[in-house]
Amino acid sequence: MLQPAEGRIEVLIETFLRKQLGLKAHTVTKVEETDRFMIVHIERLGRRLLRCGVCRQRCRKVHSVRKAREWRDLSMRKLPLKLRYRPRRVLCPRCGLRVEDFPWADPWARVTTALANAVARLARELSWQGTARQYELNWKSVATIVKRAVAYGLAHRVRPPVHVIGIDEVSRRKGQVYLTVVYDLERRVLLWVGDNRTEEAVKPFFTTEMGARRCRTLRVICMDMWAAYANLVKKYAPQAQILFDRFHIVKHLNDAVEEVRRSEMRRLSQKEKVPFKRSRWLLLKNPWNLSDDQKERLSTLVQWNMPIVRAYYLKEAFQLFWFYRQPKRAGDHLEKWMRSAMRSRLEPFKKFVRMLRGHLEGILSWTKSRVSNGAVEGMNNKIKSISHRSFGFRTAENFIAAIYHCCARLPLPVER
């Protein structure tokens, strides 16, 4: 015999939404469907106590009812929800007359926390324009949501002690403007972004962001030799070892090779250029991996003793430095290399040697700590892609917010 549908619960959409929104002192009275939205009407539930919008304390007295406000929410199937409610003003024993607390949104937000978080999550993957299109919001709303999420995240992120950091610069608008970024190289996470790359601009990282107490745990600080940051380290984290890292040194070395190659190519006639076509890999490959034909071409080039060849040899010889484990040997190798580079009659290499001379101690630290800013390279590429996908942010403020949002692993606001 068939049982009547006892125990089966029919859930009204109003009840479903009330539960989904986690309402306790409020309830959903009606859901109205228009052609663009589902409008969810919310009312106060009986005489349940409302909370103060500032301190969230329960308040006995309701002072007045304000005019209806609307909050954009997530979509249900095709239609976006819109919550509609007439906020109360409550008399808080602590704060005085305030607008009540909304469990679904921040005090001044025009979207619910659930929607804001969904937008913020997508904005980590897409451009702000793309995110706006996806949620049918305008660009400005997305910018506001991301900046609020970042402000929340910065205030609530975990801050374990930091031991190894990398300081680097990234350019905005094709090298017109620079920002300084600081990474925790152990956790591979962005710590701080500063507007500009001067000593003055980076000082707040040590004084405000870190503070004297957290500065004391710093052991190794990786940076580029060009950077103006060394003085700051000496002043605020004197115990930390400065390391001019492999990634940046190799970059300068490659720049020197490239400069030699370019100036040679300008100098050579069309006919003379022929043997150099596709010679780059010939010179970079390990000699034992070359075919007979390639070996022959190589020896011809070598006999010519062209500046390009000398540049490549110097570069390859320098790279041995990274394999020494004893500081003494590494130092000897470097010394020998610098002497031969100075005799090379290659101006870019002499420039490179002068740079090394000024920073020997920080370069030799490599044998002790073997930390590399390699993680920095990955992060910098990520920042570049953030900048590209948004056609370069017009203001530093927006760009900085986007960098924090994508690289600092910030927590998102809690949905109640």
| Minimum CB distance to Zn ion, residue 91 (Å) | 9
Q: How many helices (H) and strands (E) does the chain have?
A: 17, 14
Residue closer to Zn ion, measured from CB, 55 or 274: 55
Environment class of 353 (CB within 10 Å of its CB; exposed 0-12, middle 13-18, buried 19+) = buried
| Minimum CB distance to Zn ion, residue 107 (Å) | 11
Residues that bind Zn ion (CB under 5 A): 52, 54-55, 57, 92, 94-95
| Minimum CB distance to Zn ion, residue 2 (Å) | 57
Residue closer to Zn ion, measured from CB, 96 or 161: 96
Residue closer to Zn ion, measured from CB, 95 or 355: 95
| Minimum CB distance to Zn ion, residue 43 (Å) | 23
| Minimum CB distance to Zn ion, residue 227 (Å) | 48
| Minimum CB distance to Zn ion, residue 93 (Å) | 7
Are the C-beta atoms of residues 65 and 19 closer than 8 Å to each other?
A: no
Residue closer to Zn ion, measured from CB, 101 or 224: 101
Q: Which amino acid is at 14?
A: E
Q: Please enumerate in sequence order all residues whose Cβ is within 8 A of that of 201, keeping only pairs 6 or more positions apart, or say none.
A: 180, 194, 195
Residue closer to Zn ion, measured from CB, 102 or 366: 102
Q: Alpha-carbon distance 113 to 96, whole Å?
A: 25
Locus of tokens 């010889």? 317
| Minimum CB distance to Zn ion, residue 87 (Å) | 15
Structure tokens given for 400: 């900085």
Residue closer to Zn ion, measured from CB, 52 or 81: 52
Task: Give the number of other Cβ atoms within 10 Å of residue 278's Cβ.
Answer: 8
Structure tokens given for 216: 């004391």
Task: Give the number of other Cβ atoms within 10 Å of residue 157's Cβ.
Answer: 14
Q: Alpha-carbon distance 90 to 66, whole Å?
A: 11
| Minimum CB distance to Zn ion, residue 24 (Å) | 18
Residue closer to Zn ion, measured from CB, 54 or 282: 54
Q: Alpha-carbon distance 146 to 141, whole Å?
A: 9
Residue closer to Zn ion, measured from CB, 51 or 147: 51
Cα–Cα–Cα angle for 365, 367, 369, nearest 5°?
65
Are the C-beta atoms of residues 203 and 237 closer than 8 Å to each other?
A: no
Considering all CA atoms of the chain, what is the largest pairwise distance in Å, rounded to the nearest integer?
A: 103
3-state secondary structure of 376: helix
